[in-house]
Structures are given as structure tokens and as C-alpha cells.
Amino acid sequence: MASYSRALTRFGAAATRLSVAEAVRPYANFATAAATTTATTATTSYATRPVLPSSAILSSARGPVSLSRQFARTYADAAAPVSKKKPGKIRTTFKWLWRATYLSLFLGVGAVIYNGYSDRHPEEQFAPDPEKKTLVILGTGWGSVSLLKKLDTANYNVVVISPRNYFLFTPLLPSCTTGNIEHRSIMEPVRQILRHKKAAVKFYEAEATKIDYERKVIKISDNSDIKGTINETEVPYDMLVIGVGAENATFGIPGVRENSCFLKEIRDAQAIRTKIMDCVETAAFKDQDSSEIDRLLHMVVVGGGPTGVEFAGELRDFFDEDIKKLIPEISPRFKVTLIEALPTVLPMFSKQLIDYTESTFKEEHIEIKTKTMVKKVTDKTVEAQVTNPDGSKSMITIPYGLLVWATGNAVRPLIKDLMSQIPAQKESRRGLAVNEYLVVQGARDIWAVGDCAVAGYAPTAQVAAQEGGFLARLFNNMAKTEALESRIKELSSNLNLKPGNTAEITAEIEGLEKQLRRVQDVKPFNYSHQGSLAYIGSEKAVADIAWLNGNVASGGKLTYLFWRSAYLSMCFSTRNRVLVALDWIKAKLYGRDVSRE
């Protein structure tokens, strides 16, 4: 009986070992694979490799040890043909895109550093020939600077006269009023521009007070706070380009000039920024009257063009994104009203973009009052005449804390005086009438560009820039023409001095004459409209872009990105682009600067 029990016990133990071995077979294979995969070189698959039966394992002299080796060998045979998968196309694409991003960033930083170095270390300039003609350029706006940028100053004695010694990128001026961009970021020193010309250019920071076109002299005066012993003098010219722009038009409305803020110069943007914070801080003053708070926080913008619309959008963003967080108790009472005498805002845009702008302003709680003409302005109210839908007219009074006047241009006194001297300009009202080559009608050797000229185009920065570029090509061609004519005259006089050389000289003269005809073939100025852009707030913009034979109209957040990229590309220098981009990033991360000064 005892021997039977012992046999039964052995049989049970063997059966137990068998069942355990069979049960752990998959896990044993997996566990031993990690230690044996790198060492094995077998190529036989698991499907073709014989597996020992359980009885053979049980009869093995070493028992479980043989079982482990068999499991390891079997799994190694099965795992051997498995190769590492190749990365997919998407992963490879992203890898190369990542590398391209790093490379672009590296090249971009290198380009900025090189540009900064070249700006600080310009090439040496040479003094122009005093025998050459004197070209005087008045102003440092879009037209004048575009002319200087492309003009070969080696052909003339160039003199620049302007009351400001910088070029201002005016499209981003509304962003300066709310601290989204610092004013220094959109200014380019004129002397920095002139320092990179081949021939030296003289610059005088002065105001041109009179142009005597008969004597061909310009009277200038020093209008700075610090004056020397000589405050007024005269500058003679052989050729004159007038690009002094225009001043703000008040249309003779009482109180506009005394009580309004304009938006044409840097000092205007600074004054608006100061007054905005004055209104905010005064409205937050302890125990301030409720009606006075409503008046102080009511910002009125007159003018529905791009400047007025962009300023209204920037103002609304400023309160929604910054003031609302810092002074939440007064932010719900903030209000923006846009007044426009025409039936719609942005009249130069397509109908669908006008509708989109008006609907966006409605969402932003910006009130638009069209067909409304301002009649009088006081220090606290605007009196306006509204044309009702039925054609009737009524008067309204609008209290305000800040009034920004962004509509219309007026002729400067300098231009009025010149027009009075030229009989052919008697009928002109909006500026100097010019012909198709931008020559001032009735005068000789005088050209005009920009807002002070009447060439049949809208007074925009885009028009002025193209006019300046046209004049640069014209003046460069005129210099080439004179050089070619002089050379032809010299060769013609020496034609019979050297016998046997007549054929060569004649061939050279013919070549110069052909070149002269090409240079003289200058077509009249023709403005090419590239499109219109405007920011409308809430990180949205509208764009009406010329494309092929038609226009492409778009609006929204993607257009806003296009608006930013377009304005960055239009900035005068790499320095301006870097500063503007950094200002945008700073405002996005830390908010706008709400300091008063």
C-alpha cells in the first residue's frame, strides 16, 4: 500500500510539472527572447523548427534546465527574421521640416546680425562732383524716401531738407496709440538712410518756408528748440522735388483744431496715448460722478477710412485685453463711436468687406454713425448733423473723453504760396497739379510727389512710394542721357583726327545712339494698385488685393496674419522689421504698456 502511494505521488508530481511547463510556455518564450535575440544568428522560423514533445522533456536527464534551453532556442529561431521597421513617410517629412526650421532660424539670425553689422559699418562715401547739378528734395515721407532709396546719388549733388530727421512708417501709427508698438520701432533715421548711398548727401533739419521758382532758391528756417546764430538761409537748386505731404483738414469746423487729436505724426500718437490713460485714470478717481465716467470713457473717432477704422479696432482691443484686466470696475462702461459723413466706412474696399467690417464692429460693440457730419466741437461734446433714412436731417450731441480726427487732407502753406506764384496752378485746389511725368505744371525743373501733388490718384502711401520710385528711374535715366550725349559729341568731334580709325569710331557712335534711344524711352508714370489692407480689431483684418486681372477680397483671422506679414515686409529696413516683430511678441506675452507717458 505504501509503495502504491509513493508511485501515485510521483505520477502526480510529474503531471504537475508537465502542466506547469505547458502553461508557462508562451511566457517563457517571451522572457528568454530578450537575452537570446542579439546573440542568435539562426534563420529558421518558428513554424519550421521541430518542438520536443512533453515526454521527451520529462525523460531528459536535466529536467527543467533542458526545458529552458529548448524554449530559448525555439524563440530565438522564431524572432531572428524580424527586422526593424523603416520610419514612415510622415515621420520622415516631419523630421526634415524640423531640420529646415532649425536651418531657417539659424540663417535668419545670421542675416539679421550681418545686416546690423553692415548698418554700423557702411562703405566709405565719396564727395560728388561740384560741377554736377544740385538736386534738392523736400520732405522725408513716402515719396521722398522712395526716391532716395533708388536714386544714384553719384549723378547729382543731392540735398535733403525736412523738419523731421526720420522716415515714419505711417500704416502702423494707430498701433502706437495703444502701446501695441513702440514709436521708435516704426521710425528710420534719415541720416542712416543717406549714409548708405554711394555719394555723400547733405541733410538739413529745417522747415522750407518759401520756394522762389524764378530765382530757383528755397528759403529755410530752423524750427528746433535750440537755435544757432543763423536761423534762416537760402538753398539754391537746379532740380527740385517737393514731397512735403499735406496737413490735417478741419473743413473750417469750429473747435476741431483746438479740441481734437490728429493722427499723422509720432507726436500725435504720443498725445493720444497720454490722453487715453488720462481719461481712464480720471474715470477711476474716487467718488467720480457716474455721468462723468461715461463721458470720459467715450472715445469718438471721426473718419471711416483705414486710419480711423484701424484706430477704433486697436482702441477696442486695448480695453478688452488690458484695461479690463487691470481696472475691471470701469471697463464695462467703455464705448467707441466711429463717425463717417459717407454712407459706408472703408469706401475704397469691396461691398462684402464693408459689410464684414460693419458686422465685426457690431460684435465688438463699436457704434458706427454713417451719413453724419460734424458741425461743431467743444472741449466735451461733438455736435453733428445726421441724415435719417427718410432723408430728413437732425442734430445730435455726443459727449466724449477723447476725440480723434482722422479725415481729409489740406494744402500746406508752402504749397499754397508756390501755387499763387504759378499762373498755371490758379485753378488747382487740392495741391500742385502735375503732368504724366510728375512735373509741376507751369514751372520748370520742379517735380512733386505724394499728398502735395494732384496726379489723379488717391493720396495714399502706396501712390507716393510708386511716384518716388518713378522719379528715381527718371533722374537716373536723365543722368545716363547726359553722359551718353556728351560721349557721342566727343567722339563726333574726333572722328577725322585719326586716319584709319573712322570705322571703329562710327560703330561706337552707333552703339551709343542705340543705347541713348533706349534710355530716353521713359514711359509716363502709371500707378499700379497692389491692394488695400485694414485692421478691424479682435485679431481680424480685411484685404482687397489685386490679383491677375481682378481683385481678391478676404477678411478674418487668416487675413490678419497676412496683414501683419505684409506690413512687416513693407517696413523700410530689417531693423524696423525686427523691432516691430519683437513689439508684437512682447505685447502678446506681457500685454500693452498702460503707463501714462
Tens digit of pLDDT for each residue in 456-505? Answer: 998 999 999 999 999 999 999 998 888 888 777 777 776 655 555 677 77
pLDDT value, residue 496: 59
Query: Starting from the edge strand earliest in sequence, which strands make up the sheet with 298-302, in order?
Result: 261-262, 402-405, 298-302, 335-339, 366-369
List 377's β-bridge partners, or say none: 382
Q: Is the pLDDT higher at 566 or at 23?
A: 566
Summarize pLDDT for 354-381 with one digit per residue, the tens: 999 999 999 999 999 999 999 999 999 9
26-40, 264-278, 400-414, 580-594: least confident range: 26-40
Checking if the pLDDT of 1 tops 90, the result is no
Q: How confident is the model at residue 593 (pLDDT cuts 50, 70, 90)?
A: confident
The CA angle 361-362-365, to the nearest 5 degrees, is 85
Residues 6+ apart with CB under 8 A from 276: 177, 178, 299, 315, 318, 402
Of the candidate ranges 291-300, 356-365, 484-493, 563-572, the one whose mean pLDDT is the lowest: 484-493
Q: What pLDDT does 26 receive?
A: 45
% the chain with pLDDT above 70: 84
Q: What is the DSSP letter of 439?
A: B
Which of the four pLDDT bands, split at 50, 70 and 90, describes residue 39?
Answer: very low
Give the predicted TM-score (pTM) of the model: 0.79
C-alpha to C-alpha distance for 312 and 361, rounded to whole angstroms: 9
Are 218 and 237 in contact by the 8 Å Cβ rule? The answer is yes
Number of residues in the chain = 597
**Confidence class for position 144, pLDDT limits 50, 70, 90:** very high
Q: What pLDDT is stored for residue 482 in this prediction?
A: 83
Residue 138: how many CB atoms within 10 A of its CB? 28
H or E element in which residue 131 lies: none
Q: Where are the beta strands (DSSP E) in 97-182?
A: 134-138, 157-162, 166-168
Amino acid 514: pLDDT: 77
**Whole-number Å distance between alpha carbons of 542 and 149:** 30
The answer to whether 404 and 304 are in contact (CB under 8 A) is no
**Residue 349 CA neighbour count, 13 Å, CB half:** 27
Cell of 482: 547726359
Please determine, for residue 4, whether its predicted confidence score (pLDDT) is greater than 60: no
Distances (CA, A) of 530 to 123, 498, 551, 552: 34, 56, 9, 11
Q: Is the pLDDT at 50 greater than 50, yes or no? A: no
Average pLDDT over residues 325-338: 93
The confidence score (pLDDT) of residue 13 equals: 46
Rounded average pLDDT over 204-217: 95
pLDDT per position as a tens digit, 521-533? 788 999 998 889 9
Higher pLDDT, 546 or 181: 181
pLDDT at position 494 is 67
Domains recognised in the chain with CATH numbers: 2-79 (no CATH), 122-246+411-472 (3.50.50.100), 256-410+529-590 (3.50.50.100)
Percent of the chain with pLDDT over 90: 63
The total of other beta-carbon atoms located within 10 Å of residue 119's CB is: 14
Kindly tell me if the per-residue pLDDT of 305 is higher than 60.
yes
Average pLDDT over residues 534-545: 95
pLDDT of residue 214: 92
Mean pLDDT of 515-526: 81
At 550 the pLDDT is 76
- Position 81 scores a pLDDT of 53
Higher pLDDT, 93 or 134: 134
Sign, CA dihedral 502-508-509-511, equals positive
SS3 170: helix
Collect all residues with Cβ–Cβ distance below 8 Å to 531 and sequence separation of at least 6.
543, 544, 545, 546, 551
Which residues, 6 or more positions from 376, have their beta carbon under 8 angstroms from its beta carbon?
A: 253, 254, 255, 382, 383
For residue 60, CA distances in Å to 8, 50, 68, 69 come to 21, 17, 12, 12
Per DSSP, the three-state class of 421 is helix
Check residue 55 and give its pLDDT.
42
Which helix (H) or strand (E) segment holds residue 495: the answer is none
Q: What nine digits make up the cell of 265? A: 505724426
70-92 pLDDT tens trace: 544 555 455 455 545 555 678 88
Cross-strand pairs, 328: none
How confident is the prediction for the chain on average, in pLDDT? 84
267-303: buried (b, 16+ CB within 10 Å) or exposed (e) per residue? ebbeebbebbbebbeebbeeeeeeeebbbbbbbbbbb
Name the pLDDT band for 595 (thresholds 50, 70, 90). Answer: confident
Could you tell me the CA-to-CA distances from 26 to 35, 168, 200, 254 in Å, in that order?
Answer: 16, 78, 88, 97
Closest CA to 17 of 50, 51, 46, 60: 60
Is it the case that residue 5 has pLDDT exceeding 80?
no
pLDDT at 93: 82
Dump pLDDT digits (tens) for 385-420.
Answer: 999 999 999 999 999 999 999 998 999 999 999 999
Q: 380 is written with which cell numbers?
A: 466735451
Cα separation of 236 and 215, whole Å?
Answer: 8
Predicted confidence at residue 59, as pLDDT, reads: 42
Structure-model confidence comparison of residues 181 and 484, the more confident one: 181
